[in-house]
Amino acid sequence: MRTFFSGLLLLVATAVMAEPRVLNKPVTCDATATVLRTIVEDFKETPQWRGSNPEQGTSTVLTVNPRTGAWTLIEFTAITACVIGVGENSSSAWGVPV
């Protein structure tokens, strides 16, 4: 039993000290007007949240289709917009459907 707990402690300590990983994943980018128009007209999603990063000159918007629960996270400038992530089953932070 003592060996088990020693091993468990070592596992937990290793997990806590783990270095963060940088993931490089492909993103889809196009003209900002094109991306936003497609999201609103084709996917029927509306903006639910927006934030900005003045240092990078970017804005980020989360759009949601309230009927289907589909969502899209977009980072954009005045010229280019990139889809950072998409998904389903959106809800607020409190579990209420958006």
CA distance 76 to 29: 9
Cβ burial of 72 (10 Å; 0-12, 13-18, 19+) is buried
Per-residue pLDDT of the chain (98 residues; tens, 9 = 90+): 555 545 545 555 555 567 888 888 899 999 999 999 999 999 999 999 999 999 999 999 999 999 999 999 999 999 999 999 999 988 777 766 55
| Residue 91 tokens, joined | 């809800």
Cβ distance 45 to 64 under 8 Å?
yes
| Extents of the domains making up the chain | 22-98
Report pTM.
Answer: 0.72
* Residue bearing tokens 């917009």: 81
**Sign of the CA dihedral with 58 first, then 82, 94, and 21 last:** negative
Q: Residue 15's CB: how many other CB atoms inside 10 A?
A: 8
